[in-house]
Structure 1
Amino acid sequence: MRQGVRLGIDVGTVRIGVARSDPAGILASPLETVRRGKGDLDRLAALAAENEAIEVVVGLPTSLSGREGPAAEAARRFAAELAGRLAPGTVRLCDERLTTVTAETGLRAGGVRGRARRQVVDQTAAAVLLQSALDGERLTGRPPGEIVRGGS
């Protein structure tokens, strides 16, 4: 398994959850919630630089059957824009089915309620996504998901 910090990105219409791994790529932890809109790509590029990330995993929302709809198309566009700001081959799209549901369930079980939960659910979902990608890489020996080429 490759060594280095990875970031996980859960792109929503209002907020973007961000998580980071430890340098060994074993454990993902919530990092930050970024407001979606003007400056969001700048902040994500800055977080990648600050954390010296070797990879950024962006969630690809698909249906349970694996079909891609409008949300997946939007995630692909967002990932391409982000990839255009980072080193080639840095951004990967990974299946994120049920990450937000898993995050909500875990936060509820942990007693995190109301506004406090809304403030961290996106970054917790990003941590679930990133942990899944890290675990998958450890099991298969292959990097997760698909590489995203930069675009506008």
Structure 2
Amino acid sequence: MASVQQSSFHGFANPVDPSAAEIRAWAYQPDSVPLESMPADWDLLVSGDRLVGTLFELAMDRTCPARRFALHCLYIYAADGIRTKFRAHPKRRLRKLVETAEDEGDEPMAIWAHNVRVLLARPELFDYHDWCEGGLVRQSRRLG
């Protein structure tokens, strides 16, 4: 990843549909394109199947400057899948991410995995502020 971190990032060709390489480059230089300058609901736009693997890698990287943003996107991804009964995203993919976070992740990732399992078991606990507006990232806690 050192080469990505050392090269300068000059923005997204299409911010509404960024590539995995663009997201990765931005994540290591997030000040190059401030979140405030991105399209409205950019977090919701990028939290889909195409970029979830990249977002997961970034969230797993303790040194990534945009790690909290990536983790926030994982909360959106999980909630979107669960709330749509996995019409939005494959259940198998979410389960694999949760298992990897449990096996290899640090505390923030373990808490994310725990919270996803709680929401899987009890979808009625969904709270838009916590899952889609960053509440569980800003005030990290395990759901009961």
Q: TM-score by structure 1 length?
A: 0.30
Which structure is higher in helix share? 2
Higher relative contact order (CA 8 A, sep 6+): 1
Q: TM-score by structure 2 length?
A: 0.31
